[in-house]
Amino acid sequence: MTRRLRAIRDGVAVLLVLFLYGSMLNSTAIASPADDGLNVTHYALDLRYQSAPETLSGVATILATATRELPEFDLHFLLAVSSVSVNNEPAEFSAKDGRLTVTPATPVADGADLLIVVRYRDNPANYPPGGEHGWGWRHSPTGAVAVASSPWWYPSSFDPADKATFDVSIIVPRGVEAVANGTLQYGPFPVPGGDRWSWRGDTPQVSELALLAIGQYELRTSTGPAGQPVVTAYSTDLGALRAPALASVERTPEIVQSLSNWFGPYPYHAQGGVVDSSFFNVVATATRPIYAGGYFRSGANASMVAHENAHQWYGNAVNPVSPDTRWMSEGFATYAEFLWSEHEGLGTAAELAQYYYDQFPADHPDWQQPPVVPDPDSHSAFPIYTRGALALQALRTTVGDDMFFKIMRTWAVGQELDKAPTTVEFVEHAERISGADLSDLFQAWLYAAERPAAGPNAGPSTTKKTAEPGSYGQITANSKLLLSQNRDRYRS
């Protein structure tokens, strides 16, 4: 990297150190809220849901390792707890504002294994959504949905980069389906009081990507081209939205296959999607994105499906957790829409990138928001979604197709478990794979608060103005819609 880009990186590091040091001076806490002292490896959730009166009861069994000595530790959870045990011994506990503090009978040594069992029973609807906890427990006419809202249905790690595998077994009223991440093991299986559903997620995922959808759904099962089981679920009350939803989400196996050709092996062992009539957003929950039914009001939208499934690589396998790395999720997923457009004959990635560049003149204020310094209150999707995608096209132009896709594939598969990547690490990765000094390119496209002097197709590609690509309107509408619903989240 050049001295200038190193200076930017080092300056950010210095500010972070000063911030953390200041926090330590003003707090007696052992560590930051994200450092809960746990490395969780598995959640086994045994749940029962009833609608009248609404109650969720459960036993959460958590496998973890202590990352430091733990006289006590915290879990992120809102519901009322009846008991906690650690390594088969009863533990004391207290709860306040979504923080379940557990005091084991014997302090846990650094590096020791933990078996944590939490029993609970409560109405998740008693706890309003918002703040640091997530979107909450969302009712539907036939059940409820919890997305990016683990504290409403199971206790979890505070660390947003802590990945674990999941087993979810849940009993729901008869005639109601329960959908979660991963592979459907069985269900509906009749038991006293309802039907049991069992799901297994055997690829580690962060808690924010967990999905629980309870309601009346039309379930469809199939097998993808690579042999992965595919489960899609559609609210039975979608009405006129059912046809465009099916015309989009049922193409998931085809889209995942194309994405795999570009980005490398699909990161999970299952795929699919959920379309819910009452949900308000689109979220790339692991293995099975959830789509609000209203997102298909204008018709079929395979481009949105490509965007959300690209997040299975960039956003899930590559797991950015802070606003300054959000472009590595949204910019990459938007670029997947560019590639899908090319696949569908609606405009090449180069044509789309050049057209966007031409639509935003140098004096446009959106250029003043570089992707690594986003404005959290911005109503424009351009800085993170579109400029992030243009940065990738500029990289592709510079290094060539073969090297570009090698960078993309190795970036996804080379991620370290339980680690949140940084922009500097991506730049270093691209330079290491390509053997080129790319700091001027990334300085212009990611860091500079101005329009790059050369467009995304500079160099061996043409910089001629292009006609509007056929996919431009759909991709632009998708980005605007996603941003408007999701400005306070990092994955959509």
Contact yes or no for 145/292 (Cβ under 8 A): no
pLDDT number for residue 487 = 46
For residues 286-301, give the mean pLDDT. 96
Q: Name which of 70-79, 133-142, 392-401 the model is least confident about.
A: 133-142
The pLDDT assigned to 486 comes to 61
Which residues sit opposite 215 in a β-bridge? 177
460: exposed, middle or buried (Cβ count in 10 Å: 0-12, 13-18, 19+): exposed
**Mean pLDDT for the stretch of residues 319-331:** 91
Tokens 């084991």 belong to 104
Overall average pLDDT of the 166-187 stretch: 97
* Region 417-437 average pLDDT: 94
Question: Beta strand pairing status for 290-292 and 73-76?
Answer: unpaired
Instruction: Say which amino acid occupies 52.
Output: A
140-149, 183-192, 243-252, 426-435: least confidently modelled range: 140-149
> Could you tell me if 326 and 373 are in contact, meaning their C-beta atoms sit under 8 angstroms apart?
no
Distance in angstroms (rounded) separating the CA atoms of residues 253 and 224: 5
Beta strands per DSSP E along 34-103: 38-51, 54-66, 73-76, 81-86, 89-90, 92-96, 99-103
Per 3-state DSSP, the chain is made up of helix, strand and coil in percentages (nearest 5) of: 35, 30, 35
CA distance 262 to 428: 21
Beta strands 163-172 and 38-51 are: parallel
For residue 201, the tally of other CB atoms under 10 A from its CB is 26
The average confidence (pLDDT) of the chain is 90
- pLDDT of 181: 98
pLDDT at 269: 96
d(CA 329, CA 320): 7
Q: Which pLDDT belongs to residue 21?
A: 29
Looking at 16-25, 30-39, 277-286, 477-486, which range is the least confident one?
A: 16-25
pLDDT higher at 59 or 31: 59
CA distances from 306 to 150, 218, 243, 259, 478 (A): 26, 22, 18, 8, 11
The mean per-residue pLDDT over the stretch 341-346 comes to 97
Model confidence at 489, in pLDDT bands (50, 70, 90)? very low
Is it the case that residue 6 has pLDDT exceeding 70? Answer: no
Contact 133, 164 (CB under 8 A): no
Cis before residue 190, ω within 30 degrees of 0?
no
Q: Is the pLDDT of residue 420 over 80?
A: yes
Give me the pLDDT at residue 305, please. Answer: 98
Residue 34: what pLDDT?
58
Cα separation of 428 and 439, whole Å?
9
Q: 33-55, pLDDT tens digit by residue?
A: 457 899 999 999 999 999 999 99
The residues pairing with 218 across neighbouring beta strands, listed in sequence order, are: 234
Say whether 366 sits in a helix, a strand or coil.
helix
- If you ran DSSP here, which 8-state letter would residue 382 be given? I
Look up residue 3 and give its two tokens.
């001295």
pLDDT of residue 491: 41
Phi, psi of 17 (to 5 degrees): -60, -45
204 prior amide bond cis, ω within 30: no
Evaluate if residue 22 carries a pLDDT over 50: no
Q: What's the CA gap between 225 and 261, in Å, rounded?
A: 12
* 385 pLDDT more than 50: yes
Mean pLDDT over 414-426 rounds to 91
- Asked if the model's pLDDT at residue 485 lies above 70, the reply is no
Q: Would you call the peptide bond into 371 cis, given omega within 30 degrees of 0 as the criterion? A: no
Q: Which of 272, 295, 293, 276 is nearest to 284 (CA)?
A: 272
Instruction: State the amino acid at position 417 in one-letter form.
Output: L
Mean pLDDT of 263-284: 95
Q: How many CB atoms lie within 10 A of CB 186?
A: 10
Residue 223 neighbours by CB distance under 10 Å: 10
Residue with tokens 């018709």: 299
* Residue 40: predicted pLDDT: 98
Q: Give the separation between CA 207 and CA 278, rounded to whole angstroms.
A: 22
Q: What is the residue whose two structure tokens read 């800085």? A: 383
> Of 10 and 103, which is predicted with more confidence?
103
Give the pLDDT confidence score for residue 30 in this predicted structure. 29
Going by C-alpha positions, the residue among 138, 151, 415 that lies closest to residue 283 is 138
The residue ranking higher by pLDDT, 278 or 470, is 470
Q: Which of 322, 319, 451 is nearest to 386 (CA)?
A: 451
Our measurement of the distance from residue 86's CA atom to the centroid of its chain's CA atoms, rounded to an integer in Å, reads 30
Alpha-carbon gap, residue 18 to 116, rounded angstroms: 35
Statement: residue 31 has pLDDT above 70: no
Strand order in the sheet with 54-66: 89-90, 81-86, 113-122, 54-66, 38-51, 163-172, 194-206, 183-191
pLDDT of residue 379: 82
Decide if pLDDT at 302 tops 70.
yes
| Owner of token pair 């044509």 | 351
The DSSP call for residue 173 is -
